Structure 1
Amino acid sequence: MEITGIISAIVIVIGIVIGVLGRLVVPGRQHIGVLWTIVVGIVAALVGAAIAAGLGVADTNGVDWIEWLIQIGLAAVGVAALDRAMAGRR
């Protein structure tokens, strides 16, 4: 497996975790699919990492809890917004 494949796999797994955690934070049932949850999670992970780096909290000793909270919060906002947008189509 090439390095790009490994990096892609890591990004997708992190996207799944962040997307699922963001979806759990949003109350009620969301009417979006698994693939949309992964996409929202990947985008939230990337944007959240950039925000955390901008705030200077991306690299800490131990677990980067603040970065995780930013990413999960962004995923929750993304899941809620996408759910609302999808509800408007139905």
Structure 2
Amino acid sequence: MFNILGLIVVGLVIGVIARLIKPGRQNLSLLWTFLLGLAGALIGGIIASWLGTGDVFELNILGFIVAVIAAIVLIGAAEGFAGSKKR
């Protein structure tokens, strides 16, 4: 139970950090920021687990860095998708 709650909190933090790092203005709601941060946290945890640095739900440096990078990529993709729908 605490692992899932921790993942939710870390996902929100990762989403906010990714939006702060990514240049430009993002037209994403707080919900999308949370969901993309959560997806980035899962991706980071899975990759860190594959590399043998810990479990998916463990917070470690490598997983955190990969999670932030994944969230930045996901936010960029979401922006591109939202921008193409407006045209």
**TM-score for the superposition, normalised by structure 1:** 0.81
Look at both structures and tell me which one has the larger radius of gyration over its CA atoms: 1
Task: Select the residue among 55, 58, 69 that pairs with 2:54.
Answer: 58
Deviation at 1:39, TM superposition (A): 0.4
Higher mean C-alpha deviation, range 9-18 or range 66-75: 9-18
- The equivalent of 1:12 in structure 2 is 8
Which of 41, 59, 65 is 2:37 aligned to? 41
Who is 1:84 aligned against? 80
Counterpart amino acid of residue 23 in structure 1: R
CA RMSD of aligned residues (A): 1.8
Once the two structures are aligned, what percentage of the paired residues are identical? Answer: 34
Q: How many pairs were matched up?
A: 83
Unaligned stretches of 5+ residues in structure 1: none
Q: Tell me if structure 2 keeps the 8 A contact 1:32–1:86.
A: no
Larger mean CA deviation between 9-18 and 71-80 belongs to 9-18
